[in-house]
Amino acid sequence: MNAHNLPVCFGIHSVMAKLRHQGTVSMLYLSPASSARLSALEQLAIEQNIEVIRCERNRLDELSGNGVHQGVVAEYRPRPANQSATIKQLMAGIDTNNALILILDHIQDPHNLGACLRTAECAGADAVILPKHSACPVNQTVIKVASGAVESLNIVLVSNIANALEIIKKKGFWVYGASDSGDSELFETDFRGRVALVIGNEGQGMKRLVTGACDMLVRVPLFGELESLNASVATGVCLFEIRRQFAVIERDSGKDAGWQN
């Protein structure tokens, strides 16, 4: 534990993301070892008047809880603002026709959750919706695995996923649930307009009420002997297929506009 009882993040990507959101990091702990990436972190901290402390590996191990810190740990003041919005506030802030929301239905493993958040950020998701209860919280392991995505994503916590889906649908979103028993194959499904993708729990999949709230169930085709993908892998496959189709639609719309002109 650090002397100020503040939470910490560790690892080069996670700390860099925190430093880019100025005003959150209060102390930077660095390995005496020299590298270009550690030097860049130190320089950014100095520019923000953040105290930098050089310490040995055993101290970094202690601060990070024996995590993979890559020679850097940062104390920071939590910024919960990106997880405090309501679902209605989220909907009011999304004004594009082609929008993409990821809903994670009670993911339990922090590494899965972190990987899902990182993928959602890379796929340009407009928001991620998580349950408040009976699921993995956005803890330090999740923040580390997400590699900075937690800082930039719109993350909304809701008490009831099924109820949130009904609100989303009233705002013009079509809700797709990823399921091994889906009637439509992912790569044969037409994704356009406002899309919400639901990924279920690692073991049981989506809850019954959540499944019932979906407009369509889609499945990822599998060619091996195993019956399902890891939740975070399924998230990546689905999100980037949706994003690919969005890009095709935008490209074709541009061609049509050019032809008309």
3-state SS of 119-144?
Answer: HHHHCCCCEEEEECCCCCCCCHHHHH
The stretch 233-249 carries a mean pLDDT of 94
Pairwise CA distance, residues 34 & 100, whole Å: 41
In a shared domain, residues 158 and 182:
yes
DSSP H or E stretch at residue 28: strand 25-30
Mean pLDDT of 151-174: 92
Rounded to an integer, what distance in angstroms lies between the CA atom of residue 61 and that of residue 11? 11
DSSP E strands in 148-250: the ranges are 155-158, 173-178, 184-185, 194-199, 216-219
Separation CA 106–CA 16 (nearest Å): 29
Please, what is the average pLDDT of the chain? 87
pLDDT tens across 76-89, in order? 875 544 555 788 88
Indicate whether 208 pLDDT > 70.
yes
What is the percentage of the chain residues whose pLDDT exceeds 70?
A: 91
Token pair recorded at residue 226: 């195993």
Strand partners, 197: 102, 176
Same domain, 116 and 219: yes
pLDDT at res. 258: 45
Residue 53 has pLDDT above 90, yes or no: yes
Identify whether residues 24 and 151 lie together within a single domain: no
Question: Which sign does the torsion angle of CA 50, 51, 55, 59 carry?
Answer: negative
Same domain for 236 and 135: yes
Same domain, 219 and 161: yes
- Identify whether 2 is part of a domain: no
Asked if residue 38 and residue 135 are part of one domain, the reply reads no
Give residue 21's pLDDT: 65
pLDDT at res. 79: 53
Q: Are residues 52 and 124 in the same domain?
A: no
Same domain as 100, residue 44: no
Whether 144 is in a domain gets the answer yes
Model pTM score: 0.74
Q: Which residues pair with 9 in a beta bridge?
A: 74
**Structural domain boundaries, residue 64:** 8-78
Examine residue 260 and state whether it is found in any structural domain, yes or no.
no
Last residue in a domain, options 56, 78, 100: 78
Q: Which of 22, 51, 78 is the last residue of a domain?
A: 78
pLDDT at 259: 37
Provide the pLDDT for residue 83: 55
Looking at the fold, whether 144 and 100 belong to one and the same domain comes out as: yes
Domain assignment present for 3: no
CATH of the domain at 55: 3.30.1330.30
pLDDT band at 94; cut points 50, 70, 90: confident
The arithmetic mean of pLDDT across residues 102-131, rounded, is 94
Q: Are 238 and 217 in contact (CB under 8 A)?
A: no
Strand 8-10 and strand 72-76: the pairing is: antiparallel
For residues 105 and 131, the answer to whether their CB atoms sit within 8 Å is: yes
Looking only at the bridges linking them, the beta strands covering 194-199 and 173-178 are parallel
The CATH code of the domain that includes 112 is 3.40.1280.10
pLDDT of residue 11: 86
Are 123 and 242 members of one domain? Answer: yes
Q: Domain for residue 1, yes or no?
A: no
pLDDT band at 261 (very low <50, low <70, confident <90, very high): very low
Q: pLDDT band at residue 23, thresholds of 50, 70 and 90?
A: low
Mean pLDDT on 21-39: 86
To which residue do tokens 């919400």 refer?
Answer: 196
pLDDT at 97 over 90: no
Task: Work out the average pLDDT over 23-36.
Answer: 88
Shared domain for 93 and 158, answered yes or no, is: yes
* Overall domain count for the chain: 2
Same domain? For 68 and 87 the reply is no
Range with lowest mean pLDDT among 18-27, 111-120, 148-157, 180-189: 18-27
